[in-house]
Amino acid sequence: MEGLKLKLVRKLQSWVKPFFDYKNGVKVSFWASGIQHVQFEGSNIVPEYCVFSDKTKLGYRTTLGTNNFFGGKVTIGKYCQIGRDVAFHPTNHPISHLTTYINSHLFNGELKNLKTERPIEIGHDVWIGHGVIVLAGVTVGNGAILAAGSVVTKSVESYTIVAGNPAKPVRKRFSDEIIEEIQILKWWDKSDEELESIKPMFFRDFSDSKMLTK
C-alpha cells in the first residue's frame, strides 16, 4: 500500500509540475517564466519558478535549481550546477539621486532609466550552492565553488571556493599546476567520445596531487 501511495504522489507531482521539451535537449518547467530571453546551448534543465528578466545565456548541459532568478544580463558557462533559490542581480537602483524608488507609481516609472547595469559572467564547471546571491559586475572563473548562502560582491578566481557575506576566498581546490593543466585541457569543450577517452581522470582524487597527469 505504501509503495502504491508513493507512486500516486509522484504521478501527481508530474502532473502539477510538468516539463516540456523546448529544443536541443532543453527541458523547461511550465512554471518558469521569461525563457524568451534565454539563449540555450543545449541539454539544459530549467525547473519550476525560474525567472529570466533579460538576456541570459546558459552553457551546454548547465542545470538550474528551483526558483532561480536572473535579474538582468547573465552569461553562464558549460556544465555548471546551480542550486535552489539562487539570484543574479546585474542591476542596481540609483543611490546618488533623490530616491531609489523607480516603480511605475512615481512619474510613470521614468526613473527606471537611472538604473545601472553591469553584466554577470560565470565560467565553466561552476557549482553555485543553495541561496547564493551574485551581484552586479561579478565574474566567476572556471571550476569555482560559491558556498551555500554566500553573497558574492567581488569576482572569484578559477577553482577557488568562496563563502560568507560578503563572500571571501576559503581556499583553492587544487595546486596552481593542476589548475593550469585543467585550463589547458578545457574538458568542457570536448565531445562525449573525447570525454570517454579521459574518463578515468574524472574519478581521481587530486587532494594530494600537484600534477593532473601524474
Active site residues: 93
User: Do residues 112 and 159 lie in contact, with contact meaning Cβ atoms separated by under 8 Å?
Assistant: no
**Rounded Cα–Cα distance for residues 150 and 5 (Å):** 38
Count of CA atoms in the C-beta half-sphere (13 A) of 49: 10
Residue from 37, 67, 30 nearest 52 by CA: 37
Structural element, H or E, at residue 51: strand 51-52
C-alpha cell at 187: 574538458
**Rounded Cα–Cα distance for residues 128 and 123 (Å):** 11
- What is the gyration radius of the CA atoms in the chain, in angstroms? 20
User: Do residues 119 and 134 lie in contact, with contact meaning Cβ atoms separated by under 8 Å?
Assistant: no
**Rounded Cα–Cα distance for residues 20 and 28 (Å):** 6
DSSP, res 165:
T
**Rounded Cα–Cα distance for residues 103 and 203 (Å):** 51
User: Do residues 73 and 117 lie in contact, with contact meaning Cβ atoms separated by under 8 Å?
Assistant: yes
